[in-house]
Amino acid sequence: MLRDYYLSKLIKIGRFEYPMTIFQVSMKKLYQTIHWASIWRTIKPSLVIIAFFVMLKYTGAFSGISQITQSALMKTGVMDAKPSDDALAKDFDYNFKLRDLQGNIVSAEDFKNKTLFINLWATWCGPCRSEMPSIQSLHDKVDATKIAFIMLSIDDPDADEKVKKFALNNHYTFPIYRPVDGLPDQLHVTSIPTTFIVSPDGKLVQKKIGTAHYDTEGFKDFLEKLK
């Protein structure tokens, strides 16, 4: 009892700090543990979501989800392609060459006097893939002697076999080309899919950035009436 009495006095006058130090350290550690546990509980859901999307991106699954989502939206009609109300009215630059999947080189000038449906896409692009069935259907319905399709793949230069396999597996018969020695500035895009419509008289009349549903009577009539 006497020892406890003197100990309490020493602590009171500040001459004995060891017990208090132990207490303070213990409380500090406890606070830090609780503090970081609270932070972890707060940020853990966000980290899990971020990790999930990173995994989707680097496994290629994200583009598949994007394709499924946009394919579903197409069925609602909200993504139907609309004829351009504000024509670009610019002369189209035919000064470039293309290579088909058989290795044949063709000049864009070979397509003069036809309506051109030019679509920039890639096999890894989910939004591109989601609109392709509608492009194939449109391709099957129009007069090939008047309307030419240029499905321009911008996959890696050494990806010809991958592009061929993609077209074969999906039963796509529209003409697919690869760029040769670059493209004119008019066809430089910041995102895909991007679709250009060129009239038979060589005017760039429409540029559509993003996914659309092209297999509609309205868009078909728009293409067929271009002169």
Helix (H) or strand (E) holding 222: helix 217-225
Is the model's pTM score more than 0.85? no
Q: Is the pLDDT of residue 91 over 80?
A: yes
94 within 8 A of 156, measured Cβ to Cβ: no
Mean pLDDT of the chain: 81
Tokens linked to 97: 């060459």
- The tens digit of pLDDT for each residue in 96-143 reads 999 999 999 999 999 999 999 999 999 999 999 999 999 999 999 999
SS3 assignment, position 127: helix
Q: Is the pLDDT of residue 78 over 70?
A: no
Sole residue written with tokens 């529209």: 174
Average pLDDT over residues 21-38: 60
In what order do the strands lie in the sheet containing 90-91? 90-91, 203-209, 194-198, 115-121, 147-153, 176-180, 97-100, 105-107
Sole residue written with tokens 């591109």: 128
Average pLDDT over residues 196-202: 96
Give the whole-number percent of the chain exceeding pLDDT 90: 59
Q: Comparing 7 with 31, which gets the higher pLDDT?
A: 31
